[in-house]
Amino acid sequence: MKNIQFVILISLASILALGCSKAPQEVAKDGSDKAIDANSSEKHDQKDASKTLPVVKEEKKALYVELIDPIFINLPAPGKKGGEHFLEVELILQTTNSSVEGYAEKMKADVKAMVISIGALREKDLLFNQDEKAMLAKELAIGLSSLFEPELTMAYLQYQQTDTLNPQTIGRLKAMGIFPKVAKVELSNEALIGARALSLKDLPVQAVLFKKFKMQ
């Protein structure tokens, strides 16, 4: 009888010992599983967060192309086609397109003709006004852009917001044959949004700076 009790006690002790030895393993296993789950969840969150981060477009560095030759513009007197005064200008073109310098040199005669044609549409007295001078610079930027990338410039003129150009500017550009004379073509919604978002910054000549602006 005592032998049977002894065997039973030994068996119980063995079972308890085995249970105790497994418990830490299960806890350790649970702990590691949770740690793994936490890490995978953290990585998943980081992955999702990276999708929501805004994509920052890298802005292109501005380049400045100096037109070495001075340009002389014959300015009309009020109510006359021509006058005795000349405007001498030396221009610097602001761009982000490295090809503009090559275009400007290759198309030197066309560039000069464009500047003279746009400038000659103004009267001498108006150019003493800073707003008129700034408007002239903008019109020159558009006119010169039409030489380098005519289709893009045409899209800008057709689909930009109507308040971005002065009516006088539109009139002068139409007189130059630069402003579109045809009706707007139909575009998809996506293309239309893109076209309406065009600005001077998208044109090959973003701005015209006057290195010299002298009346004679």
pLDDT at 63: 95
Say if residues 121 and 136 touch (Cβ distance below 8 Å).
Answer: no
Segment (H or E) for 32: helix 2-52
pLDDT at 186: 64
**pLDDT tens-digit profile of 95-122?**
999 999 999 999 999 999 999 988 888 8
Question: To the nearest whole percent, how much of the chain has pLDDT over 70?
Answer: 63
pLDDT at 53: 44
**pLDDT tens-digit profile of 186-195?**
667 777 777 7
pLDDT category, 49, cuts 50, 70, 90?
very low
| pLDDT top residue among 161 and 152 | 152
As given in the structure block, the two tokens for residue 32 are 């590691």
pLDDT category, 129, cuts 50, 70, 90?
confident
As a whole number, mean pLDDT of residues 70-85 equals 75
| pLDDT top residue among 46 and 88 | 88
Segment (H or E) for 160: none
**pLDDT tens-digit profile of 5-14?**
444 444 544 5
As given in the structure block, the two tokens for residue 188 are 């998809």
Degrees to nearest 5, angle at CA 143 with 60 and 95 = 15
CA–CA gap between residue 36 and residue 39 (Å, rounded): 5
What is the number of residues in the chain?
216
| Phi, then psi, of 59 in degrees rounded to 5 | -75, 135
Name the average pLDDT for the chain.
74
